[in-house]
Amino acid sequence: MEHQEQPHKRRVRYKGTHPRSYKEKYKELQPDKYGDIIEKVKSKGGTPAGTHRSICVKEILDFFQIQPGQKGLDATLGYGGHTLEMLKCLGTEGHLYALDVDPVELVKTRKRLEDQGYGQDMLTIRQLNFANIDQIGAEVGPFDFVLADLGVSSMQIDNPDRGFSYKTEGPLDLRLNPEKGITAADRLKDITQKELQGMLEENADEPYAEEISRAVVTKIKKGGKITTTSELQSIIEETLSFLPEDKRKEAVKKSCQRTFQALRIDVNHEYEVLYEFLEKLPQVLAEGGKAAILTFHSGEDRLVKKSFKRLYKEGVYSEIANEVIRPSAEECRDNSRARSTKMRWAVKA
C-alpha cells in the first residue's frame, strides 16, 4: 500500500495584528529563534512571554561587591537573572547556591544556566523553600552574600495554567509549587466572610474588602463555583458596579490585582515563610556577610524593615539600610513591573 503523506498543518494564526493569548505568543516563547522579537518587546517596556526581567540588578551588585572566591546564596532563583549576574562577578572561582520552590520553572532555569556554561562546579540548585535556609546553611554555609527576591516571576504570572493573573482565563490555582498544598479555588470553598475580608485587608489593603468578601461567600453558599480566574474577576467587576462609570474600570483592575495578591499570599503562606526566613537569615551569613531583599508590597516591606531594625538593635547586624532603595526611573520606564519594588539590606556583625 502506497504511503500517503500527511498534509502539512499550518500554525493557527492569531486574530488581529498582535498575539493576545499566552500560547499565541509562540515567537516570544522561543528566544533562541526569534531574538529580534524579544528585543522589540523589551524596547517597548514589556516582558516577553515565558521570561522574566530581573529588577535592581545594579543596586544589588553595587551593594554586594562580590569578589571571586566568595560563596553566595540566591534564595529565590526564579528565572535566574540575578543568579547569572552574580555568577559573572564570581568569575571561575567561588560558588553560588540557589533555591526555588517551583519545580516547573526550576528545571527550565537550571538548563538555561547550564547552557550558558554554569554547571555544578560553579552553581548548585536545590528545590527548597527559602524558609528552610538553615538546612542549606548547615550543609554548605556560611555565605558571604544572600539575595531574596520576593516577587512572583513574570513567567509564572503570564502562564494561564498557573492561575496567577485575572487577565487570562485559567484555573484559580495560585500555588508557587503546584505539587503541594491547596489551590485558591479550594481555599475559597469553605471560607467565612469575616475570614476572607480579613485576608483582603491584611494581605492587600483592599478598600472594598467587605463588599468583595460578601459577594464571594454569598455566591459559594448559594451553590455557585469559583474555580477559574475569570469567574473571580467577574464577581469583583459585578460587586463594584455601584462605582461611578469614570472610576469603575481602574477600581476593578486594582481590586482584581489586590484580591489575587491576597489569595496568593494566603495559599503559599508567604508571610509565615518570610518571617521564618528573616529569623534564620543571620544564622547562614558569615561575619560581615551581606543580605539584600526585594519586596513588592507594603506587607512584605513592613516585615523586612521590622526584622532588620530589631536585629540591628540587638547587635546581630552591624549596619542596615536607613532608607528603602528603589529602582531607577529609567528601569521603571523600561520595565513597568519594577515600579513597586523596594530593596532593603543588612550586614552581619
Asked if the model's pLDDT at residue 104 lies above 90, the reply is no
Give me 233's grid cell.
474577576
* SS3 label, residue 21: coil
Q: Where are the alpha helices (DSSP H) in 242-343?
A: 245-267, 270-284, 298-313, 329-334
Q: What is the dihedral of CA 281, 287, 289, 291, to 10 degrees?
A: 30
Task: Please tell me the distance from the alpha carbon of residue 274 to that of residue 289, in angstroms, as a whole number.
Answer: 19
- Domains delineated in the chain: 57-154+271-348 (3.40.50.150), 178-267 (1.10.150)
Asked if 48 and 41 touch (Cβ cutoff 8 Å), the reply is yes
Give the chain's count of helices (H) and strands (E).
Answer: 14, 7
- pLDDT at site 13: 56
What's the average model confidence in pLDDT over 113-139? 93
Task: Please tell me the distance from the alpha carbon of residue 106 to that of residue 119, in angstroms, as a whole number.
Answer: 14
The phi and psi torsions of 146 (rounded to 5 degrees) equal -135, 130
Phi and psi based region of residue 69 (left: phi greater than 0; alpha: psi -120 to 50; beta: remaining): left
| pTM for this predicted structure | 0.80
User: Which range among 171-175, 216-220, 275-279 shows the weakest confidence by mean pLDDT?
Assistant: 171-175
Asked if 129 and 273 touch (Cβ cutoff 8 Å), the reply is yes
- pLDDT at site 54: 83
Asked if 98 and 123 touch (Cβ cutoff 8 Å), the reply is yes
Q: Model confidence at 126, in pLDDT bands (50, 70, 90)? A: very high
Among 107, 102, 99, 165, smallest CA distance to 133 is for 99
Q: What percent of the chain has pLDDT over 70?
A: 81
Asked if the model's pLDDT at residue 273 lies above 80, the reply is yes
347: enclosing H helix or E strand = strand 342-348
Task: Look over the chain and give the mean of its residue pLDDT values, rounded to a whole number.
Answer: 85
Q: Model confidence at 79, in pLDDT bands (50, 70, 90)? A: confident
Task: Please tell me the distance from the alpha carbon of residue 47 to that of residue 34, in angstroms, as a whole number.
Answer: 14
Q: Model confidence at 146, in pLDDT bands (50, 70, 90)? A: very high
What's the average model confidence in pLDDT over 238-263? 92
Asked if the model's pLDDT at residue 165 lies above 80, the reply is no
| Stronger pLDDT, 112 or 143, i.e. the higher one | 143
97: enclosing H helix or E strand = strand 95-100
